[in-house]
Amino acid sequence: MAIDTTLDLRSQVNDFSIKLANVNGTGSASANSLLMQAIFRMGIPVSGKNLFPSNIQGLPTWYEIRVNRTGFTARALDYDLMVAMNAQTYVQDIDDVRHGGYVMYDSSWPLDPDLHRDDVTFLGVPLAKMCLEHFKAPRERILMKNIAYAGAVVAALGIDVDLVSSLLAETFARNERLAQSNQLALRLGYDYAHENFDCPLPFRVEPLDANGSAILINGNEATALGCLYAGATVAGWYPITPATAVMDNFIRLCARYRREEVDPATPGAPTHQNNYMILQAEDEIAAIGMVLGASWSGARAFTSTSGPGISLMNELLGLAYYSEIPAVIIDVQRTGPSTGMPTRTQQSDILLCAYASHGDTKHILLFPANPGECFEFAVACFDLAEHFQTPVFLMSDLDIGMNDWVVPELQWDDTYVPDRGPVLHDEELREMAEFFRYSKVNDEHVASRTLPGSHEKGAYFIRGSGHDKFGHYTESPAPYQEVVDRLKLKHAASANHVPAPVVEHREGATIGVITLGSCDLAVREALGQLAEAGVPADFLRVRGFPFVASVREFIEAHDSCFVVEQNRDGQLRSLLALETGVASERMESILAYGGFPLSAKQVVDHVLTRLEN
* Interface of this chain with another protein, residues 256 to 295, rule: CB under 8 A: 257-258, 260, 265, 270, 272-277, 279, 281-283, 285-295
Report yes or no: 250 and 278 within 8 Å, Cβ to Cβ: yes
**Rounded distance between C-alpha atoms, residue 66 and residue 181, angstroms:** 28
**Which of 25, 21, 26, 22 minimizes the C-alpha distance to 143?**
26
Minimal distance, residue 270 CB to another protein, in Å: 5
To another protein, the closest distance from the beta carbon of 340 in angstroms equals 24
Look up residue 576 and give its amino acid. Answer: L
Residues 489-518 touching another protein, rule: CB under 8 A, are none
Q: Of 315 and 569, which CB lies nearer to another protein in the complex structure?
A: 315
Q: Does 242 bind another protein (CB under 8 A)?
A: no
Task: Choose between 325 and 519: whose C-beta lies nearer to another protein.
Answer: 325
DSSP designation for 327: E
Rounded distance between C-alpha atoms, residue 412 and residue 79, angstroms: 38
Write the DSSP string, 496-560.
GTSPPPEEE--TT--EEEEEEGGGHHHHHHHHHHHHHTT--EEEEEE-EESPPHHHHHHHHTSSE
The DSSP symbol for 593 reads -
By C-beta, is 225 or 575 nearer to another protein?
A: 225
Closest distance to another protein from the beta carbon of 167 (Å) = 11
Contact between 369 and 524 under an 8 Å Cβ cutoff? The reply is no
**309 is a contact residue toward another protein (CB under 8 A):** no
Peptide bond before 242: cis, by omega within 30 degrees of 0? yes
Taking CB under 8 A as the criterion, the residue among 456, 507, 559, 612 binding another protein is: 456
Q: How many residues sit in the footprint of another protein (CB under 8 A)?
A: 76
Burial 104-141 (b: 16+ CB within 10 A, else e): bbbbeeebeeebeeeebbbbbbbbbebbeebbeeeebb
Quick check: helix, strand or coil at residue 18?
A: strand
- Does the footprint of another protein cover residue 162 (CB under 8 A)? no
The smaller minimum CB distance to another protein, of residues 385 and 582, is found at: 385
The nearer residue to another protein, 50 or 218, going by C-beta atoms, is 218
Cα separations in angstroms, 232 against 250, 253, 303, 350, 500 = 10, 12, 10, 25, 24
Cα(503)–Cα(507) distance, integer angstroms: 13
Q: Applying CB under 8 A, does 297 fall inside the site for another protein?
A: yes
Segment contacting another protein (CB under 8 A): 77-85, 124-132, 450-458, 499-507? 450-458
Q: Closest approach of Cβ 216 to another protein, in Å?
A: 6
The footprint of another protein on residues 39-58 (CB under 8 A) is 40-41
Question: Which member of 24, 86, 89, 233 binds another protein (CB under 8 A)?
Answer: 233
Report the nearest approach of another protein to the CB of residue 27 (Å). Answer: 22
CB of 299 to another protein, least distance (A): 4
Q: Which stretch binds another protein (CB under 8 A): 7-15, 449-457, 500-508, 605-613?
A: 449-457
Q: At what angle do helices 549-556 and 571-580 cross, to 10 degrees?
A: 100
Compute the least distance from the CB of residue 2 to another protein, in Å: 40
From the list 541, 591, 586, 547, the residue with the least C-alpha distance to 569 is 591
Among positions 78-137, residues that touch another protein (CB under 8 A) are: none
Q: Candidates 69, 134, 194, 455: give the one binding another protein (CB under 8 A).
A: 455
Among 106-114, 314-322, 383-391, 590-598, which window interacts with another protein (CB under 8 A)? 314-322
**Residue from 23, 319, 353, 548 that binds another protein (CB under 8 A)?**
319
Choose, by CB under 8 A, the member of 453, 489, 532, 605 that binds another protein.
453
Residue 329 is a binding residue for another protein (CB under 8 A): no
**How are strands ordered across the β-sheet holding 511-516?**
502-504, 537-542, 511-516, 560-565, 587-591
Peptide bond into 546 cis (omega under 30): yes
> Are residues 454 and 428 in contact, defined by beta-carbon separation less than 8 angstroms?
no
Beta carbons of 309 and 286 less than 8 angstroms apart: no
DSSP secondary structure, 372-401, as one string: HHHHHHHHHHHHHHHHHTSEEEEEEEHHHH
Is the CB of residue 394 less than 8 Å from the CB of residue 371? Answer: no
By C-beta, is 72 or 302 nearer to another protein? 302
- Binders of another protein in range 10-39 (CB under 8 A): none
217 binds another protein (CB under 8 A): yes
Dihedral Cα 479, 481, 485, 486, nearest 10 deg:
20
* Binding range to another protein, per CB under 8 A, among 184-192, 312-320, 551-559, 579-587: 312-320
Q: Which of 94, 234, 330, 447 binds another protein (CB under 8 A)?
A: 234
Q: Could you say whether residue 409 binds another protein (CB under 8 A)?
A: yes
User: With binding defined as CB under 8 A, does residue 207 bind another protein?
Assistant: no
Which residues, 472 to 491, sit near another protein by CB under 8 A? 472-475
CB of residue 560 to another protein, shortest distance in Å: 41
Nearer to another protein by Cβ, of 37 and 589: the residue is 37
Nearest to 523 by CA among 595, 593, 598: 598
Is 418 a binding residue for another protein by CB under 8 A? The answer is yes
